[in-house]
A and B are shown apart, each in its own frame.
Chain A
């Protein structure tokens, strides 16, 4: 793997009043990797991801996304990233094709590029027949796959996925991860938050957050070895337990 950082975070702090959501985060994400961003609810994952996407402003810290400064070039960054939020965010009263056309159009794809790109994506997703179906009429799993496809429609360098598989059945989750791998293979860096520890195994590297801090960051295999356990789930439990002990002390 090429070790070129596409996301560079140094001492990121985000405060909401007196509450510190992100407490001095420092990490890099390299080009083409699938980077898992793990942590319990309220650990500060979504906050950090929103800051990287330009949806929220950091309190302090140095942040670069695809070489651009988050503080000064937030709008330029938006052209180079894709984002899929926790809340499903395609227009349910538009068809599959209309959603793709809208977002492709906003990202400035030419009509010609747009058409061929949409056709290609629909083929990949095996959704050609559903081209003119309203999103509302599709099953949830398909909706999630579509949301992902729309997020990478404009060939971003990085795609941010905020719990993309929440509430999706295991089979569809698996298909979803195939899409993620495919995107990574095409050179798109994937930054993904998740609750599912089995999904953490699929990542090239994972970071585990707790109470606003990063408490572990490495390849899944290295983490398992470090804690002497067999699965990411156990790694996570170990870390959670040691954090609790630290708190009670």
Chain B
């Protein structure tokens, strides 16, 4: 196809001359990798705590010290007024109120049981859950110490205990950055494939050159391929660039097969570009395309499981995700990069994504008309 050769030559010359494009290709990966990866984290540290200690006993003080000593909590305020504590919660200065009632120590010593009140800001459910888990951990540990120190004379039940030893695979330190970096890479590839390729096509419509192209005997698939291939190349180059950055900056391991990743990325790019070119045929201006593209990108990325586990989404959402190319890509990028999954592990995803890619490309070719209505 010599026509395709001339089209590609043209696209690459234009991309090379376009200073904006050159900046996008280099700066976007750097900014995304350096800023987004450390910023998007679910690691919870330093939960702001307000203690209302009405007991003022040595036990209550020890409890507060135990909380203060864990890296998860930071005692921001100590007060004797629940009202004051609540006001602080309302002002969002603290996340948690620990209320230690009077005679806390006495109850513990005399009755072998005492209660505490914990008030957690539940607006962010995930944060609240985690807070409770951390708090329970500290209390359990504290309990054990009290039993050892004060109640040694009472018969201690020697019932057998099951102890679980946990080891985390693939990301032993639960480093959130290593989890996020491949996800951010996926966003990078998406923005290049989806946004830039469609914008490029609409731009030709805007400046009128597409009309000149449309009176030539050029074939539709040649034109579509001429628009896709350059951005596939850029997408893969930026993927490699992002991988190197993640390696250097976050020491992200790469245990999988690079060729498999590149292959999967190409299929993914085909899928999003097909969709991009399809959508761009409805748009007359770059603004229109940008808006539509943004709408789809939000849905794709938020549903893809990059931030929240896709497995815990409602069943219907998981069904929708069958059509979401980003969901396949983000899952598989993490699998290949962090777990070293091979073709037999990702084959099924690959097949389904290929089906998506073929469909969007065919739709784009069918929708692309050389005539104006």
Contact = CB atoms under 8 A, between A and B. Distances in A.
| A and B: bona fide binding partners | yes
Interface of A: 50, 53-57, 75-76, 78-79, 81, 83, 85, 87-94, 98, 101-103, 105-108
B216 A94 contact: no
Given A89-B209, A93-B18, A55 B215 contact: yes
Interface stretch (B6-14, B102-110, B325-333): B6-14
Contacts of A75: 217
Interface string B1-36: 011011101100110011000000000000000000
A69 to B, nearest CB: 16
A93 B371 contact: no
Interface of B: 2-3, 5-7, 9-10, 13-14, 17-18, 207-209, 211-218, 370-373
Contacts of A83: 212, 215
Contact of B216 (A76, A91, A92, A107): A107
A98 B208 contact: no
A89 B212 contact: yes
Given A98-B10, A103-B216, A91 B372 contact: no
B212 A54 contact: no
A89 B208 contact: yes
A54 B13 contact: no
A55 B212 contact: no
A94 B3 contact: no
B95 to A, nearest CB: 54
B16 to A, nearest CB: 10
B212 A105 contact: no
Contacts of B3: 105-106, 108
Tell me which of B208, B211, B213, B216 has the highest count of chain A C-beta atoms within 10 A of its own C-beta.
B216
Contacts of B18: 93
Contacts of A88: 208
Contacts of A98: 10, 13
Contacts of A91: 10, 14, 209
A94 B5 CA distance: 16
B372 to A, nearest CB: 6
Contacts of B17: 93
Given A88-B208, A90-B209, A94-B13, 5 more contacts: A85-B208, A89-B208, A106-B6, A106-B7, A106-B218
8 contacts: A55-B215, A85-B211, A87-B208, A91-B14, A94-B13, A98-B10, A101-B6, A107-B216
A88 B2 CA distance: 26
A65 B209 CA distance: 23
A55 B373 CA distance: 9
A125 B209 CA distance: 22
A89 B214 CA distance: 11
Contact of B217 (A57, A78, A87, A92): A78
Contacts of A85: 208, 211-212
Contacts of A79: 217
B209 A105 contact: no
Given A79-B217, A93-B17, A102 B6 contact: yes
A248 B55 CA distance: 100
A94 B216 CA distance: 18
A108 B6 CA distance: 10
Contacts of B2: 105, 108
Nearest to A106: B216
B10 A78 contact: no
Nearest to B373: A56
B371 A54 contact: yes
Given A91-B209, A93-B14, A94-B14, A55 B214 contact: yes
Nearest to A57: B371
A134 to B, nearest CB: 8
A75 B218 CA distance: 8
Contact of A56 (B6, B207, B218, B371): B371
Contact of A90 (B13, B212, B372): B212
Contacts of B207: 87, 89, 92
B222 to A, nearest CB: 9
A115 B9 CA distance: 16
Contacts of B216: 78, 103, 106-107
